[in-house]
Amino acid sequence: MATKSFFVTKNLPEKFFKNISKKFPMEMWPNSNEEIPRQKLLERVSGKSGLLCTLSDRIDRQLLDAAGPQLKCISTLSVGYDHIDIDECKRRGIVVGNTPDVLTDAVAELTIALLLATIRRLFEANQALRQGKWPAGWGHFFMCGSMIKGSHIGVIGGSGRIGRSVIKRLRSFEPAKISYTSRQEYPEMFREFNAEFYPLDRLLIESDIIIVCCSLNDSTRRLISTEQFKRMKSTSVIINTSRGSCIDQQALYEALKSRKIAAAGLDVYEQEPISMDDPLLSLDNVVLLPHIGSAAQSTREQMIQMALDNLEAGLEDRPLLASV
């Protein structure tokens, strides 16, 4: 029987592969400064039994055909898996693993940081100082923003791991109310966090701060678009650290430009990396980060280890630590 082998689409530290590489031959994309080109990926995956991929790798029928029938396990270095054709993988008997839980705290912390940077206008203030725009004397309303305390915070997808972690941290800021959307109401959300279940429309209408924490699927793709922005308060702020395609980015730009909403903070985008000519970059009422929600050193290392544990389990026909 042919030896099982695997391919890694991202250049990762060799120290994580010491054990698994003793069991299975491996290949890794060597360039750490660029994504593997599509054609190269199709060529390199051929004949492999396992694949360790990232969000930027499109795992579709074309790739599965290129890999061949011996491909048995795909491990993605992410929580999200909308870049993988899960139905086709199931049809072919390919197990798919992801990395939930290990990045929950890091993303929740980044969400709070992005929220504070947005509502307190931290990047604007920093730029003003550097450009010599700090007014002499005391500018009474200079760089005034808003506060979490006393506000109504609505969390879309608030019952998930990251949503709950965000809500847990937000409570220390003493908001007046926390509401959440979900596929169903969870009584423990009220018991533990005093968070109320709201339909989406009501949450959009009543919230001062809206945080998007839902996963991306057919029901949440462009969940927030032109009609939803019309329902929001003109003073409202929206934060997205989930997936970029949960928000219609062009509609967001129009809402920010016309001041239908006050501000936004984004760590994720419909297209990543965001194009340098994207109109969002021309606005001063949006804070933009380069998808660094899980970018804590310890978290990224744990993600690698979990992805490799999933891959090794799949290659050995054992249950994955986290399967999709």
Which token pair is 133?
């725009």
One-letter identity of residue 182: S
Tokens linked to 270 = 């419909």
Starting at the edge strand that comes first in sequence, how are the strands of the sheet with 95-97 ordered? Answer: 26-28, 6-8, 50-53, 73-76, 95-97
**Pairing mode, strands 50-53 and 73-76:** parallel
Please identify every residue annotated as catalytic. Answer: 291
Angle between helices 161-170 and 104-119 (to 10 degrees): 50
Structure tokens at 65: 């055909």
Q: How far apart are CA 274 and CA 268, in angstroms?
A: 9
Alpha carbons 296 and 268: distance in angstroms, whole number: 16
Contacts of 312 (CB under 8 A, 6+ apart): 19, 20, 23, 24
